[in-house]
């Protein structure tokens, strides 16, 4: 378990782009993304400008002891329906054990407590069992399955739809806090 006070989220800024691009293009991250080609710096800059210029998107780095080790992205933030989507990854291969759960806890706290989102949605490639189980540990439930939905490497891949509601978060956040950071 990581000490709570050593973990934080911060908004992504231009100084982080080179590191994030390196993570995004790493084999362990890229192979689990909807778009799995090597991203160019030009594409990365376009993504960054789009992410930072649209109010319906937010992108944050997860830091442990002030060192960036992961990324959380919120998209389609919809105030009217009080929902959004998220994506995430630990980019640093040397991240300490427990980093993923700590990042997830802080992200959920931000999403449900600060943004006041009612429903957090997720779409995961069906073969990515690690991500599906990770989200279940955080309290997510499977809502559906989209067959042959995304074309990757000339193969149509299935997608698992997951969601976590604010009321479920409130029911489980204390137990999750202990699981992530200890008592």
Alpha carbon separation from 152 to 47, 70, 91, 149, 159 (Å, rounded) = 20, 24, 21, 10, 12
Q: HSE (CB half, 13 Å, CA atoms) of 152?
A: 18
Q: What percent of the chain has pLDDT over 90?
A: 95
Q: Is 58 helix (H, G, I), strand (E, B) or coil?
A: strand
4-118+166-181: CATH topology: Aminopeptidase (3.40.630)
DSSP 122-170: EEEETT-HHHHHHHHHTT-EEEEEEEEEEEETTEEEEEEEEEEEHHHHH
User: Per the structure block, which two tokens stand in for 122?
Assistant: 């997720």
Q: What angle do CA 88, 90, 94 make, to 5 degrees?
A: 180
The helix (H) or strand (E) run that includes residue 105 is: helix 99-109
* Section 121-129 average pLDDT: 98
Element (H, E) at 55: none
Q: Per residue in 19-78, pLDDT tens?
A: 999 999 999 999 999 988 999 999 999 999 998 899 999 999 999 999 999 999 999 999
Average pLDDT over residues 116-138: 97
- Give strand pairing partners of 90: 70
């Amino acid at each position: 378990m990581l000490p709570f006070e050593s973990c934080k989220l911060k908004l992504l800024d231009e100084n982080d782009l080179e590191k994030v691009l390196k993570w995004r293009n790493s084999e362990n991250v890229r192979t689990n993304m909807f778009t799995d080609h090597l991203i160019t710096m030009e594409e990365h800059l376009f993504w960054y400008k789009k992410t930072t210029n649209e109010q319906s998107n937010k992108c944050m780095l997860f830091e442990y002891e002030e060192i960036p080790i992961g990324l959380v992205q919120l998209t389609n933030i919809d105030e009217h329906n009080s929902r959004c989507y998220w994506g995430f990854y630990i980019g640093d291969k040397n991240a300490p054990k427990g980093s993923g759960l700590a990042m997830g806890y802080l992200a959920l706290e931000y999403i449900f407590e600060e943004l006041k989102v009612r429903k957090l949605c997720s779409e995961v490639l069906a073969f990515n069992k690690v991500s599906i189980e990770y989200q279940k540990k955080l309290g997510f439930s499977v809502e559906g399955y989209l067959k042959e939905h995304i074309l990757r490497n000339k193969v149509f891949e299935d997608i698992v739809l997951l969601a976590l509601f604010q009321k479920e978060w409130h029911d489980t956040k204390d137990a999750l806090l202990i699981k992530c950071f200890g008592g």
